[in-house]
Amino acid sequence: MEGIETLRQWVKESDNIVFFGGAGVSTESGIPDFRSVDGLYHQKYDYPPETILSHTFFMKKTEEFYRFYHDKMLVSGAKPNAAHLKLAELEAKGKLKAVITQNIDGLHQLAGSKEVLELHGSVQRNYCQKCHKFYDFAKMQSSAGVPVCDDCGGVIKPDVVLYEEGLDMQTMNKAVNYIANADVLIIGGTSLVVYPAAGLIDYYRGNKLVLINLSETARDDVADLCIHGRIGEVMSQLE
């Protein structure tokens, strides 16, 4: 694959790599993304996914939200793939500083990554809206319909950032800081169209910006190296 040799060299020489990824990082683990041909946007629902995954929809049509959420977002048994594992390995070797992700699946942590900035939250964390009691993934999976609190009966909400909701500013500032100071920035498996997360790319000041994506992205033109391929396959070829 074109460009792999350059990437191998840059990774070999650096101890200040930062990774920024999206849903495409987890498709090889069996979790569909939004915008690929077999992604969620091309499947037919009564409402488009961005409507269902909005704050207004969650508040007004909670049952319908959870039908979609159960079906498509709570993928059980997904395991980290070669991309997640390689990133954890690079961190353990002291070469990678942080993984910044738009994903909500928790697979980077499962792979062993320690510094993971989850811009859009996680399906692993859930809270009762009334009394704020914490619930894990298993509770959400085992609840048919709308999950409610065992203690107070309040509706449980996943700690994921829905459309119309703001991002956590502390996490965002940390991400900006890592990216602004990175030597090599690897961006992978993201269409780079969901803002404000996609705007993070503009904080990078170096000259080793790598984009790894199956299809072209909105920002291929700003990359120093573009690799079009499956990210698990690409990353597994790194030392």
**What is the gyration radius of the CA atoms in the chain, in angstroms?**
18
Marked catalytic residue, from 55, 120, 132, 228: 120
Which x/- pattern, by CB under 6 A, does the window 167-196 give for ligand CNA?
Answer: ----------------------xxx--x--
Q: Tell which phi-psi region holds residue 30, choosing left (phi > 0), alpha (psi between -120 and 50) or beta.
A: left
Which residue, among 98, 104, 102, 84, has the nearest Cα to 29 in the 3D structure? Answer: 84
Which pairing describes strands 121-128 and 134-135: parallel, antiparallel, or unpaired? antiparallel
Q: Is 120 a catalytic residue?
A: yes
Neighbour-count burial for 79-103, b at 16+ CB within 10 Å, e otherwise: ebbbbbbbbbbbbeeebbbbbbbbb
Contact 140, 122 (CB under 8 A): no
Given the complex with ligand CNA, which of 15 and 220 has the nearer CB atom?
220
Given the complex with ligand CNA, which of 95 and 120 has the nearer CB atom?
120
Return the residue of 148, 214, 222, 225 that touches ligand CNA, per CB under 6 A: 214
Q: Does the footprint of ligand CNA cover residue 22 (CB under 6 A)?
A: yes
Q: How far is the CB of 183 from ligand CNA (least distance, A)?
A: 23
Q: How far is the CB of 27 from ligand CNA (least distance, A)?
A: 4
Q: Does the footprint of ligand CNA cover residue 118 (CB under 6 A)?
A: no
Residue 26 is encoded by which pair of tokens? 């987890």
The burial of 72, by beta-carbon neighbours within 10 Å (0-12 exposed, 13-18 middle, 19 or more buried), is given as middle
Q: Say how many residues touch ligand CNA, by CB under 6 A.
A: 27
Which x/- pattern, by CB under 6 A, does the window 96-115 give for ligand CNA?
Answer: ------xxxx----------
Q: Which residues bind ligand CNA (CB under 6 A)?
A: 22-24, 26-28, 31, 33-36, 39, 102-105, 120, 189-191, 194, 213-215, 217, 230-231
Just list the catalytic residues. 120
